[in-house]
Amino acid sequence: MRWYDKLEEGLLALLLAGMTVLTFVQVVARYVFNYSFVWAMELTGVLFAWLIFVGMSYGVRVGAHIGIDVITRRLGQGTARVVGIVAAALCFVYACILAYGGWNLMTRIKEVGILMQDLPIEQWIPRVVLPVGFALLALRFLHIFWRLATGQSAHLLGDEAEDALKMQDELSESQP
């Protein structure tokens, strides 16, 4: 999965950089040259949508999504693992349902053949992100499910307190 992780990070960095550059150019054009690119706002919105839907998968990988683990922390390790496996399976099914729904929506929009408002491309093209984003999310949950089921991992969620303590230790080690 390392190649996939690097590809995902690279795509997110590219999308964020593209949004930043496009917005900067638009602001400079508007306030310095009194000119505006009509399509810039719509393209920024498309890039942002891609950033969000690809970012969902990344958030699951790094444990950045909000989760409530007050109950699972009180369970024994074996029971907590079973609960994690069930939760990962349910999340996988949910992501698959949304990927399927996104595919259906995208294909229906493709059948209609409507162009975007300011860009000369059909609306279904940027909406490919719906099935792709949820398929990537499903892949992440499947990976978590596998790691929990095989005993390679004990948690579905990240541990914010543990991460904060680890970060504090790293900062204190780097300071003289």
Give the pLDDT of residue 85: 87
CA separation, residue 34 to residues 27, 28, 51, 121 (Å): 10, 9, 29, 26
Give the pLDDT of residue 3: 86
Where exactly are the structural domains of the chain?
2-174
Give the pLDDT of residue 81: 80
Give the pLDDT of residue 67: 65
Q: How far apart are CA 35 and CA 61, in angstroms?
A: 42
SS3 147: helix
Contacts for 156 with CB less than 8 Å, ≥ 6 apart? 67, 84, 87, 88, 144, 148
Give the pLDDT of residue 60: 84
Q: How far apart are CA 109 and CA 24, in angstroms?
A: 31
The separation between the first and the last C-alpha atoms of the chain, rounded to the nearest angstrom, is: 37
pLDDT means per 10 residues, the chain with 176 residues, are 85 94 92 87 92 90 68 73 86 96 94 88 92 94 88 62 61 68
Give the pLDDT of residue 163: 56
Structure token pair of residue 35 = 């000119």
Q: pTM, whole model, 2 decimals?
A: 0.77
- Torsion on CA atoms 105, 10, 51, 122, rounded to nearest 10: -40
Give the pLDDT of residue 151: 81
